[in-house]
Amino acid sequence: MSMFSWTPKGAEVLQQGGVIAPDERLPWPQTAVMGMQHVIAMFGATVLAPILMGFDPNIAILMSGIGTLIFFLITGGKVPSYLGSSFAFIGVVIAASAYAGKGPNTNLGVALGGIIACGVLYVLVGLAVQAVGTRWIERFMPPVVTGAVVAVIGLNLAGVPVKNMAAGNFDAWMQLVTFVCVGLVAVLTRGMAQRLLILIGLIAASVIYAVLTNGLGMGKPMDLSGVANAAWFGMPGFSSPVFEANAMLLIAPVVIILVAENLGHLKAVTAMTGRNLDASIGRAFIGDGVATIVSGAAGGTGVTTYAENIGVMAATKIYSTACFVVAALIAILLGFSPKFGAVIQAIPLPVMGGVSIVVFGLIAVAGAKIWVDNRVDFADNKNLIVAAITLVLGTGDFTLKFGQFALGGIGTATFGAILLYALLNRKR
């Protein structure tokens, strides 16, 4: 059966509480609506990540759509997944490009070269998995290691919103208002609104900011002139990569996080659908890697499979890959709208800072969740030492220099966790 051929199912299947499998689809109108819902689910995070790194959000949205289609083709249409901007790149990109946290990233090319290097390494991991299976990955990256590295990414970023995204007292208070808004949406809402907690909280905080500044003159007013002047359709600002060894060495280790994310995604989908996707793991890695290479070559962020879209599938019991093809096409259309990009750029910096505090904190907690879900035993000194040292190396930005090369906190924490675990795990 062709990857573009899905078995049609009537909408009555949903009324009966049934499941739509990856190789099935609802009637096209309902499939289109589901595709739009997946776009909305990934939207907040996929747009936020490029802004935090100084990338063009239009390029990020465009490449998320193209990357999703690449992933669909390479996996043969068997794995339901959306590829959005990966937050795992934020810390290393900021470090490699010395981004100050405001406006366009003037050293973008260096970061793009590192993202491409990571994508190439990811493809090589995928080819290795295709050849020998996944057991070697699980051996070198047990939950204690992956959890610590994921947590370090969020902790290493903590200083960015606190130190660089609040120019004064009013801005600091607006950051507080923003993360309170996000928290209220997370706790007090249900269903789709709860899944869009970042986006809804950001909108609510922006409205409050506009009332306090444009209305009451308490801070720098929001400037919407760029939105009014932007065209509805136009070419996004593509950028070219620059390959520098330092940046590539710093960014490439993110592949470890991408592998962990993708493995988790496939295991989750396997559990939900009852279909074993282990045979697709290598292809999924290759698809994600190729999508990251293509995105970096055009000026976009690295991409990864998205937990937000897993949540949508879990809530709806619709796993049809047709929905993701539709979502990808919608994202590509949005990528060619400068007006959409202007709206994103108009978001006040302290509001973005407040959202960043939430997102970076969630990344850190996601690392701890890996430990909890896998019941990591911290009574075992091996696990205790690996986690403790990794967290401090990354949070304290411990740097090692090898001649002209410098390996920053996230890099030393990542490699340190792997090597330290391998050393301590040797049998006596």
> How much is the CA Rg of the chain, to the nearest whole Å?
21
Q: Is 168 domain-assigned?
A: yes
For the cut 90, the answer to whether the pLDDT of residue 113 exceeds it is: yes
- Nearby residues of 138 by Cβ (< 8 Å), 6 or more positions away: none
Query: Is the confidence at residue 62, as pLDDT, over 90?
Result: yes
401: Cα separation from own chain's centroid? 29
Is 80 exceeded by the pLDDT of residue 363? no
HSE-CB for 347 with a 13 A CA cutoff: 29
Tokens of 35: 């595709």
Domain annotation covers residue 393: no
Q: Is residue 111 part of a domain?
A: yes
Backbone φ, ψ for residue 6 (5° rounding): -115, 145
Is the model's pTM score more than 0.75?
A: no
Q: Per the domain annotation, does 15 fall within a domain?
A: no
Alpha-carbon gap, residue 253 to 153, rounded angstroms: 12
Is 398 part of any domain? no
Q: How high does pLDDT run on average in the chain? A: 82
> Residue 402 forms beta bridges with which residues?
405
7-8 and 303-305: which strand pairing? unpaired
364-415 pLDDT, tens digit per residue, is 887 888 788 888 989 999 999 999 999 999 888 888 876 655 666 777 887 8
Query: What number is the average pLDDT over the span 317-321?
Result: 82
**Residue with token string 């939900």:** 272
The answer to the question of residue 242 being in a domain is yes
State residue 195's pLDDT score.
56
Identify whether 2 is part of a domain.
Answer: no
CA distance 199 to 248: 32
Local confidence band at 320 (pLDDT 50, 70, 90 cut-offs): confident
Left if phi > 0, otherwise alpha if psi is -120 to 50, otherwise beta: which for 103?
A: left
One-letter identity of residue 21: A
Pairing assessment for the beta strands 83-85 and 24-25 based on DSSP bridges: unpaired
Position 262 confidence tier, pLDDT thresholds 50, 70, 90:
confident
Q: How far apart are the first and last CA of the chain?
A: 53
Compute the average pLDDT of residues 132-151.
80
Q: Could you please report the per-residue DSSP string of 36-56? A: HHHHHHHHHHHHHHHHHHT--
Query: How far apart are the C-alpha atoms of 214 and 104, rounded to whole Å?
Result: 24
d(CA 86, CA 46): 8
Contacts of 187 (CB under 8 A, 6+ apart): none
3-state SS class at 400:
strand
b (16+ CB within 10 A) / e for 397-414:
bbeeeeeeebbbbbbbbb
The 10s digit of each residue's pLDDT in 69-80 is 999 999 988 888
Q: Does residue 363 contact residue 150 with C-beta atoms inside 8 Å?
A: yes
User: What sign does the dihedral 57-59-65-68 (CA atoms) show?
Assistant: negative
Domain range enclosing 206 = 20-367
Q: Structurally, how many domains does the chain consist of?
A: 1
Alpha carbon 129 to chain centroid, angstroms: 23
| pLDDT tier for residue 45 given thresholds of 50, 70 and 90 | confident
CA torsion sign for 39, 46, 118, 312 is: negative
Contact between 301 and 4 under an 8 Å Cβ cutoff? The reply is no
Q: Is residue 207 domain-resident?
A: yes
DSSP tally for the chain: helices H, then strands E = 21, 6
Dihedral over Cα of 309, 254, 355, 389: its sign: positive
Min mean pLDDT across 199-213, 252-266, 294-308 is at 252-266
